[in-house]
Amino acid sequence: MGRILVVGGTGPTGIPLVRDLVAAGHTVTILHRGTHERPETPAVVEHLHADPYDDASFRAAVDGRTFDATFAMYGRLRRIAAAMVGRTGQFVSVGGVPAYRGWMNPWAHDPAGLPVPVAEDAPTVDDAAGDEKGFRVARTEEVVFEHHPTAAHFRYPYVYGPHQLAPREWCIVRRVLDGRTRMVVADDGLTLHHHGYTENLAHALRCALEHPEAAAGKVFNAADEEVLSVRQVVEICAAALDHRFELVSLPFDLALPARPLIAQPLPTHRVLDLTRLRTDLHYRDVVPAREAVAATARWLAEHRPAPGGTEEMVLTDPFDYVAEDALIDAWLGARDAVELAAARFVPEPGYGLAYSGPGGRPRSQETFDA
């Protein structure tokens, strides 16, 4: 068992990480500003109150201290990496998927859209002019490995679960609680958008601690093993709360109420390749994605963000149901007119002889011989 520093430790993934490290017998210290103390934090955990965004504050807090491992999950990662040289054995850092070229700016690829899936060796942003945020994220990764060549660095996607400040599921859960029966999705909600549940991401970090040699000097994608479509997320949240929506599919450019769930400028997919995480670190989800989404919906229903509060400001969802209904009604009226025109096809176009699905080609024999 070792002495472990967790920079952060009170955020969505920090809470389960700290809890499980303590349960495994490690001596855990968390460094944070002290503005978000959590009752879930075990009492035996030492707290260092400092500002991980301020280099002098951070260095003063760790002065004279050494640790067997450090998890840098919060703060100015470049400065933390530099300050921990000579003060830690293993260094595990958390960054983000915006490092990939095309994650933030899908037009960086031609045709537009991130390749599916995207692996750790995919090109990262190398030009600040096209994606300034992605460039900074990618450059920070380089600095981490300059200071700690044997570091393990994790690229997070969007995080969901308790205490998330940008809870995409709230866009669904609030509509359930408000008694909405219709909800807009873009392009039938078929966009695949990889997310990571808090418990699963914390487990991924622990895998690096458990397999230090396999983790050393590598970047890892971290996310749920199953990537759900937007439509699946809506349906799972609704079912978890014993609710059913009529999902109204609009073209992406008209589906304005669906923007907070899409969270990107195109309905293209964002899917991560988890082969390295699964193979090198033997990662498997602690909580399957479908169960995690349902649990998150129930948690939000019990811990409702304040109307107009921080979470809704971050989501930028106005919950303007009058405007939503007007848009839905206008679309359904237009669709009826289009369906009349579509009925003129005689014969109707088919799906092709290679079609596989309900109503497909009949069997060639009456009986099946095994």
Domain-wise residue ranges, the chain? 87-329
pLDDT by residue (tens digit) across 350-367? 888 788 788 777 777 777
The candidate with the shortest Cα–Cα distance to 146, out of 197, 96, 217, 238, is 217
Is-contact 201 13, C-beta < 8 A?
A: yes
**Alpha-carbon span 45 to 29, nearest angstrom:** 6
CA angle 107, 110, 111 (to 5 degrees): 95
**What are the beta bridge partners of residue 160?**
197
| Strand, coil or helix: 338 | helix
Burial of 360 (0-12, 13-18, 19+ CB in 10 A): exposed
Provide the percentage of residues in the chain whose pLDDT is more than 70.
99
pLDDT, one tens digit per residue, over 268-306 is 999 999 999 999 999 999 999 999 999 999 999 999 999
pLDDT for res 370 = 63
- Average pLDDT score over the chain: 95
Angle at 359 between CA 356 and CA 364, to 5 degrees: 75
Percentage of the residues of the chain whose pLDDT score is greater than 90:
88
Position 176 confidence tier, pLDDT thresholds 50, 70, 90: very high
Which of 28-42, 101-115, 236-250 has the least mean pLDDT?
Answer: 28-42
With a cut of 90, say whether residue 130 has pLDDT above it.
Answer: no
What confidence category does residue 56 fall into, taking pLDDT thresholds of 50, 70 and 90?
very high
Question: Is pLDDT of 212 > 80?
Answer: yes
Cα-to-chain-centroid distance, residue 12: 12
Band of the pLDDT at 329, cuts 50, 70, 90? very high
What distance separates the 2 farthest-apart alpha carbons in the chain? 82
Query: Model-level pTM?
Result: 0.94
d(CA 265, CA 34): 36
**85 sits in which H/E element:** none
CA dist., res. 159 & res. 166, Å (int): 8
Q: Where are the alpha helices (DSSP H) in the chain?
A: 14-23, 55-62, 77-83, 132-147, 170-177, 198-210, 212-215, 230-240, 259-262, 275-280, 289-302, 310-315, 321-342
In the 8-state DSSP scheme, what is residue 125? P
Dist. CA 172–CA 174, nearest whole Å: 6
Can you identify the CATH homologous superfamily of domain 87-329?
Answer: NAD(P)-binding Rossmann-like Domain (3.40.50.720)
